[in-house]
Amino acid sequence: MATVNDNTETASETQSRKGRIALYILALFVLILAAVFAYNYSFIKGQLGIGTAYGARVACSCHYVGGRDLADCEKDFEPGMEVIGLSIDDDKRRVTASVPLLASATAEFREGWGCVMLTEAEAD
State the pLDDT at residue 4.
54
Q: Which DSSP string do the residues of 17-79 spell out, in sequence order?
A: HHHHHHHHHHHHHHHHHHHHHHHTHHHHHHHHHHHHHHHHHHHHIIIIIT---HHHHGGGSPT
State the pLDDT at residue 80.
86
* b/e per residue 40-77 (b: at least 16 CB within 10 A): eeeebeeebeebbbbbbbbbbbbbbeeeeeeeebbeeb
Q: Are 85 and 73 in contact (CB under 8 A)?
A: no
- How confident is residue 55, by pLDDT bands cut at 50, 70 and 90? very high
Q: What does residue 107 show for φ and ψ, rounded to 5 degrees?
A: -120, 140
State the pLDDT at residue 17.
85
Has residue 96 got a pLDDT over 90?
yes
Q: What is the pLDDT of residues 3-47, one digit of tens each?
A: 555 556 677 778 888 889 999 999 999 999 999 999 999 999 999
State the pLDDT at residue 67.
94
State the pLDDT at residue 1.
54
State the pLDDT at residue 2.
56
